[in-house]
Amino acid sequence: MTLHAKLNTKTDDSTMSPANAAFMATYLDSLLLVERLHRLLLDVIKDEFERMGVLEINPVQALLLFNVGENEVTAGELKSRGYYQGSNVSYNLKKLVDNGYLHHERSEIDRRSVRVRLTQKGREIRQIVSTLFATHAEGLLSRGVVDQQGIEDITGSLRRVERYWTEQIRYIY
């Protein structure tokens, strides 16, 4: 059963006003779209890597490298800074270290903590992703898909939803 169907069975309430029902339908569509966009982004990155012959790294790992950038971070910081949303961060970090994309070093202060930063090989992957994103941005603008104000509106709306969801996690049990 799809997310939309599951939510519809739980929210099919004849007491809902037409305005609330319309909002709910659009909200469910937006949830599905966010999920599809994330999966499509991973597919786009995967296709780019396949075209370039980069096969030992997956799109999730490539995004992680892109987001680390020139920073040196711990695994915990990857999540707290929003660089990585998955549940298997340790696995991906280990693979990236083992394959030479990340350098890791135990913290001098807290020996339990490991800090990671990109190696030259990791910076090369980051550059591929950065170039891909720059090409996307140029294409979106040049084809009139979205303009500066439109992308700012989308981003602002998504940030407000993110804040709302974060508040739900933190304050409602």
Is residue 60 located within the same domain as residue 138?
yes
> For the chain, what is the domain count?
2
Report which DSSP code applies to 147: -
Contact of 101 with 125, CB cutoff 8 Å: yes
Terminal Cα distance for the chain, rounded:
26
Is residue 41 located within the same domain as residue 61?
no
Higher pLDDT among residues 12 and 95, named by residue: 95
- Please check whether residue 117 lies inside any domain of the structure: yes
pLDDT tens by residue, 131-156: 999 999 999 999 999 999 999 999 99
Question: Of 125, 115, 111, 140, nearest to 52 (Cα)?
Answer: 125
Distance CA 143, CA 137 (A): 10
Q: What are phi and psi of 148, to 5 degrees?
A: -55, -45
**Mean pLDDT across 8-37:** 85
Give the per-residue pLDDT at 8: 56
Give the per-residue pLDDT at 12: 58
Distance CA 70, CA 67 (A): 9
Distance CA 104, CA 168 (A): 35
| pLDDT at residue 11 is higher than 70 | no
- Please check whether residue 155 lies inside any domain of the structure: no
Give the per-residue pLDDT at 103: 95
What range defines the domain where residue 62 resides?
56-142
Q: What are phi and psi of 6, to 5 degrees?
A: -60, -45
| pLDDT at residue 172 is higher than 70 | no
pLDDT tens by residue, 120-131: 999 999 999 999
Is residue 135 located within the same domain as residue 61?
yes
**Mean pLDDT across 112-127:** 93
| pLDDT at residue 35 is higher than 90 | yes
Residue 110 sits in a domain of what CATH number? 1.10.10.10
Give the per-residue pLDDT at 169: 85
Is residue 97 located within the same domain as residue 130?
yes
Which residue matches tokens 């696995």? 91
Percentage of the chain exceeding pLDDT 70 = 90
Give the per-residue pLDDT at 166: 87
Percentage of the chain exceeding pLDDT 90 = 65
